[in-house]
Structure 1
């Protein structure tokens, strides 16, 4: 509870009691003497926002110095004697309410202002025709009310267009702020927002913008500095997007010389640098670019060199920084063609590079086996001069001869390749052996 008493003790008569009147008068309070006694009592909840009071002493025979929150004034005499006039103005985004724009110090016997000071408030709705200005949420920076539907019209010179710089945007989840690219609510929506967002800009295509704010009628209590602050200004109307700057350690190309709607600008990086961000920016129909400017950052690692078929690899570091190695080991039956270990090296010109190309694992080749010879009285199948590794050579004997030894030999791969055994011989059979074998046949 706040009580302000017209005197210097607790028994002085009150001129303000918060239990009886919620808000202090806009024009303030004036004591009849040299004292005000301020009494503040609080409960244990600790939920109140607090208070702030401004006080001022002034000379007898003069008016007190005026005050207007969120505004300024000019005075014909800074000492405020009788006859002084004061003219008030509000800060951008605020409107004068509840009082006169000009007041005068009157009554030589009891000097006082002929009108109360006006109040500057951020109001709901309005038509703004200046080349630049500010739109504030109602009551900013105090909380806006629930269930509000406010509309502001922004109008600049016909040969210009409107730029919106949304510097503060903190709304409740059920509150909506909408920007229309035209002078009514049927125009194309430039953007629609709820909740909180960082600073951003919008560009209209015409000289008129309509701003609509709707707050949730069922919302709870709003907080201080919850709302929005929008600065607007007129900017040249043209048919091209603004020129995009070059980027360090890179260059850009454009799909056409004039930066008209639909033009695509592509950014590239010099060797040794890689692009961070999008490489393509498009000029939108509202003459804004589709994204933020990218940058070229120094490359500090090699690209993944890849896998070699029929092999496994051993990697020293998965991100391949300078100094990393990759070792390739071929599967069984394959031999390495190329460097078995690649190392990532840094270069003064260009980015890091591998020490060699990706190797290959090729099938291992072996020397052939030479014909071991045909046994006397025998035959070979097949009969040739050289036999590839893995080939089989079979032997047989002519009639009347017996095979002694292995009937087939295998060419075992190696360096050199060799036969699995010695070739057999064909021995002449005895009379009994010969006829015994024939009977068996």
Structure 2
């Protein structure tokens, strides 16, 4: 619910160029707000809704002009709700979310919603129709203390003939009586009003309009606590009817007096004998038909020594002073036919008159005229018939005249509710003082001259907050509605919000510059983006976060599926899914060599993918002329060690046998005191014979290593 406001800073168009500003009303119809023939520098254009369009068309040839437009938005508001007839309305705020509360004057009942809310829309509207105040036909009031009974409000259309006979029952508290004051009594030829002191059919008649006689404007008093009122009419209308005000009082006291459109002071709030009451009228009314002071007399049966006066709206007069009120004749009742009233207002010579017309609801055959100046220099400011929304007018001289004329044939053409006009004395200067610019911001004005009602709107540069009222209004007394605001440096970031499926921790809940927010995903989710963001200040500009919010996505949605195993190979730590960043290692079976990457990694993406293709395992091929690789060298060393171990083991066994079965004294064998063997032993070795000496054969081994062929040779020799 915002409008756009444009201000032309510079306009200089060439011949043939066209420029227009358009908007859209609440019904969607296109409106031309301005065009190139009406645009001037400093002009302010307001769109009726939240849309404003700028159309530019260059010329066919020749030089091109320039234009510059500054625009800003301002909040829309609901229109001021209409005050119900015989009621009032109080508005808390006209912006979306604001409320308007309605209530009726005493004796009237509200038909409709008592509270309306301004709804946010392209053009804000109230949540319901404005209620109306109506007087009901009949009713019952228990424990009646103070109130009013009114003739029923007329119906319109097919129900115009309803409410032809109405009856009201009033019952005061125990041991109290009722005083009925006839504020208004204007009955038609066939209308009848009857008041009974009691609810039974045989009750005493207090007043019967059908019997003739004087009308008891001083009122009537019931004999007991109950009163019945009956009204009979052919057709209710605004011109005929009655107003009766009632109040309960205790025996031995006078009833509480009442003065419509006025007030009074009393010497005794209980209104005992000897009480003195003094009356005064509200502004715009004069005291008529009664004394300004009355007294409660007669101790046996107290009563007032005179009737209460009446305060009636004046029909014309000479007015002066700093302010006052002008009301239609007989206000708040309907004005009469053939009224001819003139109010002449005069203020100081160096002053002017400001009229504030709060209500204007008269018949189309009636006229209200407002003129400026005295009898010599008269200038008509406006003539008005029918109804009008509130408006204001100012005079250019110290004198201003308001004239009202009602049609004598008002019964034929009908008549309106009346009017309410306030006037105040204002300074001769017709504009408010200019307001200063603000540091780190700027201002725009709704009018070239700062006349009453003109607005100045302040805004701040990026990176600054406005402290104070955004819009200031030039008031009736030529003062501004508030002090100018100022721009304050923004030292905090806006809340970036939460991340779905994640938790966050803040270093500073105020989100001042330097605040960090750490995000961590819930189990089963993986973080995409930076886990930490920081609020940092900019010059110029508003503090911002270092990066966008991360996202938490499910592990299944970003994992890499197992790519499978190569033929003649296998995987290390195999599983179905791998998270981004995890690696998968491949190994080939013996006799096969790996072609490709031994390990591949899962890369995060949309979708995620492996860093390389699946490797291959192929049969290993040995090349004779090629040098040994590390594996072949290790195998040759292993075989060499194995052969050497076997050889040494054989030598050990061979030497051991010789030590136990020979008496030879060999250089290589130390002597041993074994006896000679003279009998055949259990050994079948032909090298050993009993009691004899023979030669022993030793073998020496020569090992030759060739790294290319791993060739081993053996040489044998004999010893004596």
SS at match of 1:145: coil
2:365 touches 2:413 (CA, 8 Å); kept in 1? Answer: no
In the TM superposition, what whole-angstrom CA distance separates every residue of 1:43-73 from its partner, at most 9, and x where no partner exists? 5x56577765332221222211001112211
Displacement of 1:28: 2.0
Distance 1:42 1:232, change over 3 A: same
Alignment check: 8 A CA contact 2:432 2:450 kept: no
**Residue 246 (structure 2) pairs with residue 55 (structure 1):** yes
Change (3 A) 1:118 1:222: farther
Check the 8 A contact 1:183/1:208 in 2, yes or no: yes
Is 1:230 aligned to residue 421 of structure 2?
yes
| Deviation of 1:235 (Å) | 1.0
* 1:216 and 2:396 aligned: no
Q: Distance in 1 between matches of 2:267 and 2:413?
A: 41
Equivalent-residue separation in structure 2 for 1:209 and 1:192 (angstroms): 14
- 1:140 corresponds in structure 2 to 331
Q: CA deviation at 1:10?
A: 2.2
CA distance in 2, matches of 1:250, 1:8: 71
Question: Which of 165, 169, 176 pairs up with 2:356?
Answer: 165
Structure 1, unmatched stretches of 5+, are 262-266, 268-286, 289-441
**Aligned-partner SS, 1:157:** coil
Asked whether the equivalents of residues 142 and 225 of structure 1 are also in contact (C-alpha less than 8 Å), the reply is no
1:242 paired residue number: 432
Tell me: CA distance 1:80–1:129, structure 2 relative to 1, closer, same or farther (3 Å): same
1:219-298 equivalences in 2 (<5 Å): 219-220=410-411, 226-238=417-429, 240-243=430-433, 251=444
Distance in 2, Cα, partners of 1:253 & 1:7 = 66
In structure 1, how many angstroms separate the alpha carbons of the residues matched to 2:302 and 2:372? 53
| Equivalent position of 2:267 in the other structure | 76
Q: Deviations over 1:297-337 (max 9, x none)?
A: xxxxxxxxxxxxxxxxxxxxxxxxxxxxxxxxxxxxxxxxx
SS of 1:206's equivalent in the other structure is coil
Q: Say if 1:76 and 1:214 are closer, same or farther in 2 by CA, change over 3 A.
A: same
Change (3 A) 1:13 1:60: closer
Structure that is richer in helix per residue: 2
Give the paired residue count: 269
Q: Which runs of 5+ in 2 are unaligned?
A: 1-191, 452-456, 458-476, 479-720
Alignment root-mean-square deviation, CA: 4.2
Match in the other structure for 1:430: none
Q: Which gives a bigger RCO, structure 1 or 2 (Cα 8 Å, sep 6+)?
A: 1
Alignment of 1:19-418 (within 5 A): 19-20=210-211, 25-41=216-232, 45=235, 53-184=244-375, 187-220=378-411, 226-238=417-429, 240-243=430-433, 251=444
- CA deviations on 1:237-286 (whole Å, 9 max, x unpaired) are 23x5335789x98746999xxx699xxxxx9xxxxxxxxxxxxxxxxxxx
Give the greater-gyration-radius structure (CA): 2
What is the TM-score normalised by the length of structure 2? 0.33
Q: Structure 2 vs 1, CA of residues 46 and 37 (structure 1 numbering), >3 Å: closer, same or farther?
A: closer
Contact 1:143-1:226 within 8 A present in 2 as well: yes
Q: Secondary structure at the match of 2:400?
A: strand
> Residues 369 and 383 of structure 2 are in contact (CA less than 8 Å); yes or no, is this contact kept in structure 1?
yes
